[in-house]
């Protein structure tokens, strides 16, 4: 009976997919260095704490930061910004919005901006956003430092912001 075998294989595949989805969904990852011209060949370098990416110190904002700043339209947070891409057919977008709103209300200088992916399709293509919700974590300069696709956990969001703003007391860029 072929159908029975196909059923068994389909259930195994679905279980594998589901377990993989549970592992990666909402996990906050380091974003690569943002200047595509400079770092295209080197893949996705990890931005670690003790070795800040060169583009953060450097002069000109990346193309991605420029494209984002248009969509943000002055809503960039003083210390960090969480940009959430949402769409109409998105179940976890509402829960994600609630988590990010709570965190942005709790941490001064951090903004939460929700963008409709369909109304910003050019930006979505430029940043290669594939799912909703996708959350980008921007530093004070508007550069993408971390990203998560799927609903992130609140504790992970707070930890990610902590990484973004190491000197939480007195941000060095204000002196």
Partner 1 sequence: MSKMEPHVNAPVRPRPKVDPRGPRFGAAVTTVVLALALVLVGSTLGTVLIAWQTLVFALGALVGLQAQPYGWLFRVLVRPRLSPPAELEDAAPPRFAQAVGLVFAVVALVAALAGATVVATIAIAFALIAAFLNAVFAFCLGCEMYLMLARLRRS
Cα separation of 144 and 142, whole Å? 7
User: What b-and-e string marks burial along 150-169, b requiring 16 or more CB atoms within 10 Å of the CB?
Assistant: bbbeeeebeebbebbbeeee
In three-state secondary structure terms, 161 is helix
Q: Which of 113, 126, 66 is nearest to 85 (CA)?
A: 113
Number of amino acids touching partner 1 (CB under 8 A): 52
Q: Which stretch binds partner 1 (CB under 8 A): 39-47, 50-58, 60-68, 126-134?
A: 126-134
Integer-rounded Cα Rg, in Å, for the chain is: 18
Q: Does 88 bind partner 1 (CB under 8 A)?
A: yes
Cα separation of 130 and 24, whole Å? 14
Q: Does 147 bind partner 1 (CB under 8 A)?
A: no
Contact code string over 19-58 relative to partner 1, x by CB under 8 A: --xx--x---------------------------------
Q: Does 76 bind partner 1 (CB under 8 A)?
A: yes
Residues that bind partner 1 (CB under 8 A): 1-4, 6-7, 9-11, 13-15, 17-18, 21-22, 25, 74-78, 86-91, 94, 97, 100-101, 104-105, 108-109, 111-118, 121, 124-125, 129-132, 140
């Amino acid at each position: 009976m072929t159908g029975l075998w196909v059923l068994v294989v389909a259930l195994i595949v679905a279980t594998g997919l589901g377990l993989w989805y549970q592992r990666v969904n909402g996990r906050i990852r380091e974003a690569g260095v943002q200047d595509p011209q400079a770092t295209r060949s080197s893949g996705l370098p990890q931005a670690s704490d003790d070795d800040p990416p060169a583009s953060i110190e450097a002069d000109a904002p990346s193309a991605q930061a420029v494209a984002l700043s248009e969509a943000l339209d002055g809503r960039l947070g003083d210390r960090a910004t969480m940009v959430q891409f949402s769409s109409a057919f998105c179940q976890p977008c509402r829960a994600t919005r609630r988590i990010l709103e709570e965190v942005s209300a709790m941490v001064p200088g951090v903004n939460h901006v929700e963008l409709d992916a369909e109304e910003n399709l050019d930006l979505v293509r430029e940043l290669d956003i594939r799912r909703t919700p996708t959350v980008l974590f921007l530093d004070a300069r508007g550069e993408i430092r971390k990203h998560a696709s799927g609903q992130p956990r609140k504790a992970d969001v707070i930890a990610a912001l902590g990484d973004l703003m190491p000197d939480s007391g007195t941000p060095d860029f204000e002196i």
